[in-house]
Chain A
Amino acid sequence: MLDSKIPSGPIEQKWNNRKFEGKLVNPANRRKHTVIVVGTGLAGASAAATLGEQGYRVKVFTFHESPRRAHSIAAQGGINAAKNYQNDGDSVYRLFYDTIKGGDFRAREANVYRLAEVSVNIIDQCVAQGVPFAREYGGTLTNRSFGGTQVSRTFYAKGQTGQQLLLGAYSSLMRQAGQKAIEIFPRQEMVDVIVVDGKARGIIARNLVTGELTAHTADAVILATGGYGNVFFLSTNAKQSNASACWRAYKRGAYFANPCFTQIHPTCVPVSGDYQSKLTLMSESLRNDGRVWVPLKAGEKRGPNEIPESERDYFLERMYPAFGNLVPRDIASRAAKRMCDENRGVGPTGLSVYMDFRDAIQRLGSATIAEKYGNLFAMYEKITDENPYQVPMRIFPAVHYTMGGLWVDYNLMSSIPGLFVAGEANFSDHGANRLGASALMQGLADGYFVIPYSIANYIGGTSLAPVKNNHEAALGSLAESKARIDALMKAKGGQSVDQLHRKLGKVMWEFCGMARNEAGLKGAISSIQKLKDEFANDVRIPGDEHLNSELEKANRVSDFLELGELMCLDALERKESCGGHFREEMQTPEGEALRDDKNFSHVAAWEFTGKTPKLHKEPLTFENVHLAQRSYK
C-alpha cells in the first residue's frame, strides 16, 4: 500500500506540523553525512546549495559541462507566487485552488497547498540573490498573468525568467563549491542507483569524457533530473534532456507515477521539415497580448493580413469568454487541434494557427511590445524568417512538460527509502495539467524549502551503517552498467540512434499525444515492442567510449523506448479524460475532457517487475476543493 505520509491537521497547518514533527540533524553532525544530488536545474541546484549551506557534504552530478546549462535555463515566461502585490484577490488559498483545478483534480491537496505556501518565500530568496525581476517605476516588483488564473501573480525577468532564476541558484551553488562544501562532477551521468538493504546508498556515474564508470556512495540520493518529454523526439525540451536517471531508479524499485500525463504546450513554432531536431516554445506570456485565431472559412488561401476582421475566428475568445486567450494549456492545445482538424489550420502544412499582436501594437505601440517580448519576437524571426510585428506568428502545440514522474510521498521520497525526487522528475504537484509559470515555482519550492527538511528528517531518523564504494551492491551495479554499455557498443547495424528515436517519436505523437484511444494505444504498444527489437539489432554506434554523443544518445533512447511503452500502458489503463490526457472515448458533448472521479480519482503508480509492470493506486481525496467539471467559459 502506498503511504503518502500526509501530515495530520487542517490543510493550513499540515506543513507547519510536519516541520515541527520532523527529525533534525545537529549542525556538527551534518558534515558526517554525504548527500548526492543528480541534476543542476532549479530543483537540483537549489537543493544542493541549501544542503551545502546547512553543512552536509554534497556531491553534485550533471551531464552538462557546467551546472548553469541545465534545461531550466530555457524557461521563458515567469514564476507564480501568491504575493498579492497587485491587490487583485490573490492568496495562498487561491493559488492552491487554481493549481488543483488547473491540474483537473489529479494532484494531492496537501502537496499543492505547501507549494502555494512557500511560493512567497521563493520570490524573497531570488530577489536577495540579485535576480533582476521586472519592476515598476516606483521600484516595486511587477507581475503579469498566465493561463488558468484571473489574477496577476507571475513574476518575470523579460522572457528569460528561467535563466535568471537558474543563474541565481547556480550562483549559490558555486558559492558553496568555492567554499568546498560541495563537490561538482560535470559531464558525468548517473547510470544506476546503488541500493543496499532496500535503501538508496549511492549512484554509478559515467564520465562522458573518459567513459569511466565510478561508484559513489552516500546517505541519501536526490534525483532532480527533469522530465521525459524527449520520448517524443520532437519537443521543446533541450536535446539532451533525458529520463535515464529516473528510469534506472524505476528499475531498482522506485514507482513511476502517472507516466501518461504529458503537457502539450499550445504556442510553439510549428514543425517545418523532417530534418527538424527540436521545437521552440513561444512563451505563454504572449497570450496576454496575442490573440489566437484561424480563418472562418475552411481551406482559406489568403495571407493573414488580407483576411478582414469579419472573416476571422478568435476561437479561444469565442469558446471561453471568461478566460479568453488565457485558458490553460491543455484546453488551448486541443482547441487549436480541433481548428486544424476542421481544415482551418494555416501555414504551408495547415498545422498551425495565428497568434496576432496587431491589436496590442495598435493599443500600446510597438516599443512597449518590444520591451515586453522583444527577445521572443527576435527568436521567432530567427527561426521562421518572418517578422511578427508585421505578420501574425504561426503557432502549434508541442510536447513541453511531463506532469508524471517518479512517485514520491509528501516528503518527496520515492518508494526506495533514501531516494528523493525533486522538480519535474517527480509527479507530485501538477495533476493532469500544469499551469504556466508553475514549473519554476515547484522546482525552487522543492529544492530550497522542502528537500532540506526531508533530508534532515530522513537522516535524523534512520540508522545508516557506512557503505564503501566497494560494497557488493556497488560492484554489482557497476558490472551491470558496464555490461549494458558493452552491449550497445557491440551492435553493428545500419541506423543512427536519431533515426530510431524519430520512429519512436512518431508513434508516441500520433497515438499517445493530444488525443488517445484504446485501439491506437494498443497498436502503439506493439509498434514500440517491435521498435525495441529493431533498436537492439540495427543501431550503429561508431567510435569508442570516450566522448561519444552517439553512445550517450543510445544509452538514453534505449530507456525512452521502455518508458514510451509504459506511457502507453498507463494511458490505456486510465479510461477517463483529464487535463492533458484526452481519451477520445470520454468527452463532454462540447468536446471537453470528461473525468471519471468514481473510478480514476487516484495516482497510478507503476512498479517494475521484469514482466508486465504492476499497478498500485494511491487514492486522491479532496477535502478542501470541491470536485467539479472544469469550466473556463
Chain B
Amino acid sequence: MKLHLKIWRQKGPKETGAFKDYTVDNASEHMSFLEMLDFLNTSLVQKGEEAVQFDHDCREGICGSCSLMINGNPHGPETGTATCQLHMRKFNDGDTIVIEPFRAKAFPILRDLCVDRTAFDRIMAAGGFCSINTGNAPEANSILIGKETAEKAMDSAACIGCGACVAACKNASAMLFVSAKVSQMALLPQGDPERGKRVRGMVAQMDQEMFGSCSNTGACEAACPKEIKLENIARLNREMLRATFVE
C-alpha cells in the first residue's frame, strides 16, 4: 500500500506545532497502524531525521498508552478498537491519513503525538479507591455479590484510561473516565462506605484539572475503545445527587 500521511510535529509543550507530509510506500495491509508508524520511523532514522514520537506499549489494547486522532477520530475509524489494534487493512491504497495528538487543555502536548495524561492519576488519587490497607481484608467469600452485579462492575472497570473520551468531546470533558470508576465502586458493596466522599472528590479534581463539562452528546461512548457505556455517566450523576442530598 502507498499512504500519504499528514502528521503533527511539535518540539515541546511551549513550541508551535505544524503538520508535516510523509509518504509511505510498501506498507502491508497486515501491519498494525503503529507498525506502519514504526516502518516510517525506521526510514526517517536511516535518513538521519528525527523519529515521530508517539506513546505506545502493550500493543494489545489494554495498557491505554496509545492515543492518536486518526482522520479526526480518536483511535481511528473502527469502533471498540485502540490504535494499536487497528490494522492497515481498514484503509485503502492511496489514502491520505491525518494523524494528530489527543487535544485537550488538560492533556498538554509533550512532543509530536505524545500528551501528558497525568491529570487522570490525580483524579484517581482524589477518590478512585477503597480505603483498605494491606492485611485488613475480610475473607473473600464473606461478602456475596450477585453475578450480574459483578459483571456490570467489570464492564465499568474495563476502562483503560486512554483519554479517547476526552479527545472526542467538544468540551474535553472527562466524565466517561470518571464515571466508569465511580460506577464500578458504586455497584460493589466494598465501595459503599466512601461513595459520597469518592464522587465529590473525583468530580472536584476533574474540574480543577480544567476538563470541560458534560453535555451528554455521547461522543465519548462512540470513541471509547472499550465501549464503556453512557449509563455510567447517569450513575455518576445519581451518585452526585445522592452525595449532595443524602449524606
A residues neighboring B (CB under 8 Å): 46, 49-50, 53, 64-71, 73-74, 83, 85, 121, 123-130, 132-141, 157-158, 160, 162-164, 167, 170-172, 174-175, 177-178, 184, 186, 209, 238-240, 272-273, 275-278, 280-281, 378-379, 382-383, 385, 448-449, 452, 494-499, 540-543, 546-550
B58 contacts A139, CB within 8 Å? Answer: no
Is B62 on the interface with A (CB-CB < 8 A)?
A: yes
B137 contacts A379, CB within 8 Å? Answer: no
B132 contacts A277, CB within 8 Å? Answer: no
Q: Which of B133-163 contact A (CB under 8 A)?
A: 133-141, 143-147, 150-151, 153-154, 157-158, 160-161
The residue in chain B whose Cβ has the minimal distance to the Cβ of A178 is B125
Answer whether A382 and B140 are a contact pair too, CB < 8 Å, given A132-B150, A167-B157, A209-B110.
no
How many angstroms from the CA of A126 to the CA of B135 in the assembled complex?
A: 11
B128 contacts A383, CB within 8 Å? Answer: no
Residues of B within 8 A of A139 (CB): 144-147
Answer whether A128 and B130 are a contact pair too, CB < 8 Å, given A171-B124, A276-B35.
yes
Known: A71-B58, A239-B59. 17 other contacts (CB 8 A): A130-B184, A130-B185, A130-B188, A132-B150, A132-B184, A135-B147, A136-B147, A138-B144, A157-B154, A158-B158, A164-B154, A164-B157, A174-B129, A238-B57, A272-B30, A276-B35, A278-B59
Among B95-103, B115-123, B214-222, B239-247, the stretch that binds chain A is B115-123
Residues of A within 8 A of B42 (CB): 496, 498-499
The residue in chain B whose Cβ has the minimal distance to the Cβ of A371 is B151
The residue in chain A whose Cβ has the minimal distance to the Cβ of B45 is A496
Answer whether A130 and B117 are a contact pair too, CB < 8 Å, given A138-B144, A273-B30, A385-B87.
no
B89 contacts A239, CB within 8 Å? Answer: no
How many angstroms from the CA of A278 to the CA of B51 in the assembled complex?
A: 19
Residues of B within 8 A of A133 (CB): 150
Is B39 on the interface with A (CB-CB < 8 A)?
A: yes
B181 to chain A, nearest CB (A): 8
**Contact partner, A141, options B117, B140, B190, Cβ 8 Å:** B140
Residues of A within 8 A of B51 (CB): 542-543, 548-550
B53 contacts A69, CB within 8 Å? Answer: no
B150 contacts A275, CB within 8 Å? Answer: no
Is B60 on the interface with A (CB-CB < 8 A)?
A: yes
How many angstroms from the CA of A71 to the CA of B89 in the assembled complex?
A: 27
Residues of B within 8 A of A238 (CB): 57-59, 63
A549 contacts B128, CB within 8 Å? Answer: no
Residues of A within 8 A of B136 (CB): 128
How many angstroms from the CA of A87 to the CA of B128 in the assembled complex?
A: 35
Residues of A within 8 A of B59 (CB): 238-239, 277-278, 280
A127 contacts B137, CB within 8 Å? Answer: yes
A85 to chain B, nearest CB (A): 7
Some 28 contacts from A to B, beta carbons below 8 A apart, are A46-B134, A65-B118, A66-B117, A68-B64, A121-B135, A121-B137, A123-B140, A127-B137, A128-B137, A130-B129, A130-B185, A132-B154, A137-B147, A139-B146, A139-B147, A162-B62, A163-B62, A163-B160, A171-B124, A171-B128, A174-B129, A175-B129, A178-B126, A275-B28, A280-B59, A496-B41, A546-B12, A547-B110
B38 contacts A275, CB within 8 Å? Answer: yes
The residue in chain B whose Cβ has the minimal distance to the Cβ of A127 is B140
B32-63 toward A: CB 8 Å interface, digit per residue (1/0)? 10110011011011101111010111111111
Residue from A134, A209, A383, A549 with most neighbouring chain B CB atoms (10 Å): A549
B107 to chain A, nearest CB (A): 11
How many angstroms from the CA of A186 to the CA of B111 in the assembled complex?
A: 16
B residues neighboring A (CB under 8 Å): 12, 28, 30-32, 34-35, 38-39, 41-42, 44-46, 48-51, 53, 55-65, 80-81, 85, 87, 89, 110-111, 114, 116-118, 120-121, 124-126, 128-141, 143-147, 150-151, 153-154, 157-158, 160-161, 184-185, 188, 190-191
Residue from A127, A170, A272, A495 with most neighbouring chain B CB atoms (10 Å): A127
**Contact partner, B125, options A129, A175, A499, Cβ 8 Å:** A175
Answer whether A275 and B31 are a contact pair too, CB < 8 Å, given A128-B130, A135-B150, A382-B85.
yes
Residues of A within 8 A of B150 (CB): 132-135
Question: What DSSP secondary structure best describes chain B's contact surface?
Answer: loop
B46 contacts A494, CB within 8 Å? Answer: yes
**Contact partner, A379, options B30, B61, B160, Cβ 8 Å:** B61
**Contact partner, A273, options B28, B46, B80, Cβ 8 Å:** B28
Residue from B132, B144, B145 with most neighbouring chain A CB atoms (10 Å): B132
How many angstroms from the CA of A280 to the CA of B84 in the assembled complex?
A: 12
The residue in chain B whose Cβ has the minimal distance to the Cβ of A129 is B130
A542 contacts B137, CB within 8 Å? Answer: no
B212 to chain A, nearest CB (A): 21
Residues of A within 8 A of B132 (CB): 125, 128-129, 172
B131 to chain A, nearest CB (A): 7
How many angstroms from the CA of A50 to the CA of B133 in the assembled complex?
A: 7
Residues of B within 8 A of A186 (CB): 118, 121
**Contact partner, B137, options A125, A164, A494, A499, Cβ 8 Å:** A125
Residues of A within 8 A of B111 (CB): 209, 546-547
How many angstroms from the CA of A452 to the CA of B28 in the assembled complex?
A: 50
**Contact partner, A547, options B53, B129, B184, Cβ 8 Å:** B53
B46 contacts A124, CB within 8 Å? Answer: no
